[in-house]
A and B are shown apart, each in its own frame.
Chain A
Amino acid sequence: MNKIVNHTISKQASKFVRDMVDKIYLHENYHCCTTAEWEVWHLSSCCVGRCDKHCCASNERQGQIMTCHEFWSRKPLVAQHTKNNDFLKNLRRTGTASCVMQIRNTHILWGHGNRIYNKQIPDHFVDELVLAAKDQNLFSKSPVLGLYINEKMLA
């Protein structure tokens, strides 16, 4: 099974993950964008450029901004970014998977079918969830990419 972590994490961090899963299946999320392979959905935060929600529409895109759609629609880029992260392999194999990705901010991803749900991890849970995800080859980070989450970001 697509384990999130093999570590002992705090009760609060565990609750954060569970709450995210509850919100995903109870439809407390919204669609961000669709690529040839994936539907990207967000919880709580959103990226600029593709989303027409108020928080995004009020921002202007500037410079070389990497949006969710631009990232997930570029297979070589995704492959390069996730080469040490088994998330997509697990998702394709079993239909469900999760991981932690650091692309400027740290996010937890939950995949089900062709949907990828994304939520930013609060700062106080980042260390333990990253450590736990690393242990399972379910962590990846990029020093150069920046997904645009609610505020301006130059790649």
Chain B
Amino acid sequence: MSRVPFHQRIQELRQARGLSLRQMAEELEQYGVKVSHNAIAKWEQPKMVGATRLPSQEIIAALCKLFNVKPSFLVEEMFSNVRSKSDSERIAKLLDVELLTEEEFAALLNVKDLFIKSRKQKAGEK
């Protein structure tokens, strides 16, 4: 199962909270780290595979406090090829999606997207 890259994760979390780059920089300052909005914009830029440079440990810790997430959630990309057996079992259960019609498959994707959207909204409310 592919993992969400750091740049994408940060952007999703920021947007879910409805923060601009400047607002996020201001919020981070409350957690003891001073970064510019330009630095955050750089974090959100897609990187080439194998070229991601994470921010410092202090910034990772502050991001976790700001978004109320665990560090491993933010740096999930580091586990890009770590697949737990439970992931494999989930994938195995999806192998028969080919049997669905286009409409049924689209409906399945809609349900999945609704779950993820709901989680993002909850994260944004915190």
**Using a CB–CB distance below 8 Å, which chain A residues touch chain B?**
1-11, 13-15, 17-19, 21-22, 24-27, 93-96, 98, 112-113, 115, 132, 136
Contacts and interface: CB of A to CB of B under 8 A. Distances in A.
Contacts of A19: 72
Contact of A26 (B61, B78, B88): B61
B78 A11 contact: no
23 contacts: A1-B78, A3-B79, A3-B82, A4-B79, A5-B82, A8-B85, A9-B83, A11-B84, A14-B82, A17-B79, A19-B72, A21-B72, A22-B70, A22-B72, A24-B71, A25-B61, A25-B71, A26-B64, A93-B50, A94-B50, A94-B53, A112-B56, A136-B81
Nearest to A113: B56
B82 A25 contact: no
Contacts, number: 88
Contacts of A115: 57
Nearest to A112: B57
B53 A18 contact: no
Interface string B44-59: 0000011111101100
A112 B82 contact: no
A35 to B, nearest CB: 18
Interface residues of B, number: 27
Interface of B: 49-54, 56-57, 60-61, 64, 70-72, 75, 77-88
